[in-house]
Amino acid sequence: MKMPDDLFCEVCSEKRGINPETLKQVMILAVEIAREGREGRRIGTMFIVSDTDEVLKHSRNLILDPLLGHPDHLKRIEDPNARETIKELAQLDGAFIVSDDGVVVSACRYVDAFSEGINLPLGLGSRHMAAASITKQTQSVAVVVSESSVVRVFDDGEIVSEIIPELWMFKRYGSHWAVDGKKLEEEISAVTDLP
């Protein structure tokens, strides 16, 4: 059986060098948002992890950034208070930008999405196009929560993983991972102790 950190490292191409602990925390938070929703309704959101400076250049805020000016130690992805704040802010439109060391540096970001060279399955929306686009343009990885409660991970402009929260929780499996077009089920007992 693969260890959780090994599995998270596999999700992204080696050239990215994404911090596996940060990616794991983002993916767990994304599954929580997909599973819980907010105020009785399903919500969608996006997290863009790593290559922060380039991601910020390819995105902008259309409302005032609610995280701007707050100290980094209050915006760490593993901090329970920050996680609850992120869940509330996920109801607003736009993406979260997460640094490689786990600080959520910005919220409510609109990504400049370019569809040239992006080939997504039919039925996915603009949030997925933006995720594919930003990961093609930068050295980042994007984690998208669909309003249909599926979590998808994008790397280099492609979907590299799909997580079904119910399978993650109820079957005690990490997810259905789509890596190189193959479906795999990996048991991840260390990651499934979500509330």
pLDDT for 181 equals 43
The token pair at 179 is 């890596």
pLDDT at 179 over 50: no
The token pair at 154 is 């994008």
pLDDT at 57 over 50: yes
CATH level 2 (architecture), domain 4-186: 3-Layer(aba) Sandwich (3.40)
Average pLDDT over residues 153-177: 71
Span 87-119, pLDDT tens digits? 999 999 999 999 999 999 999 999 998 888 898
Considering only CA atoms, which of 42, 32, 36, 23 is closest in space to residue 143?
Answer: 23
Q: Which residue has the tokens 């402009």?
A: 157
pLDDT at 194 over 50: no
Question: What percentage of the chain's residues is helix, strand, coil (to nearest 5)?
Answer: 30, 25, 45
Q: What percent of the chain has pLDDT over 90?
A: 56
Q: Which residue has the tokens 């950034």?
A: 65
Q: How confident is the model at residue 186 (pLDDT cuts 50, 70, 90)?
A: very low
CA distance linking residue 165 with residue 119, whole number of Å: 25
Average pLDDT over residues 114-131: 90
Span 15-29, pLDDT tens digits? 567 888 999 899 999
Considering only CA atoms, which of 104, 97, 53 is closest in space to residue 74?
Answer: 104
Report the predicted TM-score, pTM, of the whole model to 2 decimal places: 0.81
pLDDT for 18 equals 86
Domains in the chain: boundaries = 4-186
